[in-house]
Amino acid sequence: MKKHILPLVLILLSLLLASALLTKDHDWGDDWASYLMQAIAITKGQTQDFIQRNTFTMRMSTQFIGPDAYPWGLPALLTPFTLGCAPLNIFCLKSINLIFWTLFLLVLYLLLARRLPPLQSALPLAVFAFSPPLLNFNNQLTSDIAFLFFSTLALLLIEQVRQIANPTYRILLGIVLFFAFFVRTNGILLLPTLFLAQVFDYLQTRPRRLPDWKRILARDLVPHFIFGLLTLADLLLLPSGAGSHFERLSAVSLKSLANNLSAYLAMPAFFFSDLPYPEIIYGALLPFTLGGIVLNFKKDFPLIAYLVLSYVLFILWPEQQGIRFLFPILPLLVYFAYRGMTAASFALTSQFQRAGQWVTRGFWLVIVAAFAWTSLTMARDNLAQRRGPYGNVFDPLSIEMFDYVKSQTAPDDVIAFYKPRALRLFTNRYTLLIDKCDALPLAKYVVLRKSRGGVDQVSPDDIESCNPSIAATRVFVNEKFAIYRILSK
């Protein structure tokens, strides 16, 4: 038990930091609004109504925003929080992330402890426990933190079923594989990861025997069957809208592939963005990461398979989503970098091996210390400012604009705004994103953010003159927003 004290202390400290970093605001990226509206729709039995309204927003807007519906996993997990917190108590709703963040760190430690001695496994764990970008991401009411937990747990269970012929683990793995997919569509990658691991294990068997189909059906395919049954139940019980997301694959081109390849190869450097010279740190770690992958290929094949499949998906997907797409594989990259550095220290002559080990540990300790100090400073600043709001969605000026739309427009009016899902969450109106003048007649009202110019909206300077077929009359203004009524001439 003593060997687990340090990791548990690290997890507790990380939870405290994450709690201190939570704000009473949310940024304008309105994916979170869609997740929250889906959760509310579940509690009210109005999932089809949500699909109808969101499809209108997605298909009638003048640029692509997102799928008709996100996977229903996070909304289903959010339902008790929407009932207990109230749908717009954003500070309370964010507590779901704290739960999954703590569970992720616990599972990550169990994954590391199977590969490294207890004290050494605490080092990569601490890197994530105090990581400023990950800790601060608990403020995003999106699927990233929940998926980080489920995908890491799935990898742990894949390893477990490779070593222990216990049917309980296989059933549990099937359930976890489903939840990973239920929470985020790219959780489907864990299924081929399991299959490839099973094929790899068979090919490594000596002497190799003919496949025992009875054993395969009764044991090896159990997680696949469980996943399939639960996915079928999901399709039957909840309306699907994620299929519209796959339509984006039609936008794949050689240019997008080349851009994504270069972007995602360089993107892990953002994990170290709170340190000086993050690109140099990442560049220095890259050879060790590759070395760790090569040296541990057989032992860690499932991790490597998931890493490769994830990168293939990221490169294929037309839109880049930033560092958050890499969250599930960042623990693997750091783990392999640590293993590569450790192996390099053992490759030194005997008189320098101990020094090499201390350099490895010292390097990661410096990163942990810098991460912890940065996160602590951010937490202190947040608490000193009473957790916000910080001029975003829950800022008084934004709430004033939402209140005007809700009280002064009719329920069936169409409102244009550059974040249409956030506007619909607060006002329950039909909403669109309109950034082209010729599409202005689609809306009854247009809400413009003064500081954005013509980005994702018609420019405030052009709204009254750019379309001669309509008359735009300003009916509301405050320091941030202006609202125009659109009438046909």
- How far apart CA 377 and CA 256 sit, in angstroms, is 38
Q: What percent of the chain has pLDDT over 70?
A: 95
Q: What is the pLDDT confidence band of residue 250, given thresholds at 50, 70 and 90?
A: low
CB crowding 366-388: b at 16 or more within 10 Å, else e: ebbebbbebbbebbeebeeeebb
Dihedral of alpha carbons 52, 55, 57, 61, sign: negative
| CA–CA–CA angle 311, 313, 317 (5° rounding) | 120
Average pLDDT value for the chain: 92
Domain map of the chain by residue range?
2-384, 396-488
264-304 residue pLDDT tens: 999 999 999 999 999 999 999 999 999 999 999 999 999 99
The position carrying tokens 């309980």 is: 168
CA-based nearest residue to 375, from 99, 6, 15, 108:
15
pLDDT value, residue 241 = 63
109-139 residue pLDDT tens: 999 999 998 889 999 999 999 999 999 999 9
- How far apart CA 62 and CA 430 sit, in angstroms, is 15
pLDDT value, residue 380 = 97
pLDDT at 323 over 80: yes
- How far apart CA 220 and CA 218 sit, in angstroms, is 7
Q: What is the DSSP string of 239-264?
A: ---THHHHGGGGG--HHHHHHHHHHH
> Encoding tokens for residue 337?
């970098």
- How far apart CA 183 and CA 209 sit, in angstroms, is 38
pLDDT value, residue 167 = 87
421-457 residue pLDDT tens: 999 999 999 999 999 999 999 999 999 999 999 999 9
135-162 residue pLDDT tens: 999 999 999 999 999 999 999 999 999 8
20-63 residue pLDDT tens: 999 999 999 889 999 999 999 999 999 999 999 999 999 999 99
pLDDT at 84 over 60: yes
pLDDT value, residue 319 = 78
91-105 residue pLDDT tens: 999 999 999 999 999
Q: What percent of the chain has pLDDT over 90?
A: 80
pLDDT value, residue 218 = 59
> Encoding tokens for residue 444?
């009854």
CA-based nearest residue to 106, from 145, 152, 146, 139:
152
Largest Cα–Cα separation, the chain: 87
pLDDT value, residue 247 = 63
pLDDT value, residue 477 = 97
- How far apart CA 477 and CA 461 sit, in angstroms, is 14
pLDDT value, residue 122 = 95
276 or 353: which leads in pLDDT: 276
Residues 6+ away with beta carbon under 8 Å from 180: 147, 150, 151, 154, 187, 190
Lowest mean pLDDT among 1-5, 177-181, 417-421: 1-5
Residue 320, helix vs strand vs coil: coil
Q: What is the pLDDT confidence band of residue 398, given thresholds at 50, 70 and 90?
A: very high
- How far apart CA 56 and CA 189 sit, in angstroms, is 30
471 or 319: which leads in pLDDT: 471
Q: What is the DSSP string of 177-244?
A: HHHHHHH-GGGGGHHHHHHHHHHHHHHH-SS-----HHHIIIIITHHHHHHHHHHHHHHHHS---THH
Angle of helix 350-384 versus helix 330-346 axis, rounded to 10: 150
β partners of residue 476:
483
pLDDT value, residue 4 = 85
> Encoding tokens for residue 335?
């783990």
Q: What is the pLDDT confidence band of residue 208, given thresholds at 50, 70 and 90?
A: low
Which DSSP helix (H) or strand (E) runs through 362?
helix 350-384
pLDDT at 243 over 60: no
The DSSP secondary-structure symbol of 165 reads -
Q: What is the pLDDT confidence band of residue 72, given thresholds at 50, 70 and 90?
A: very high
Q: What is the pLDDT confidence band of residue 409, given thresholds at 50, 70 and 90?
A: very high
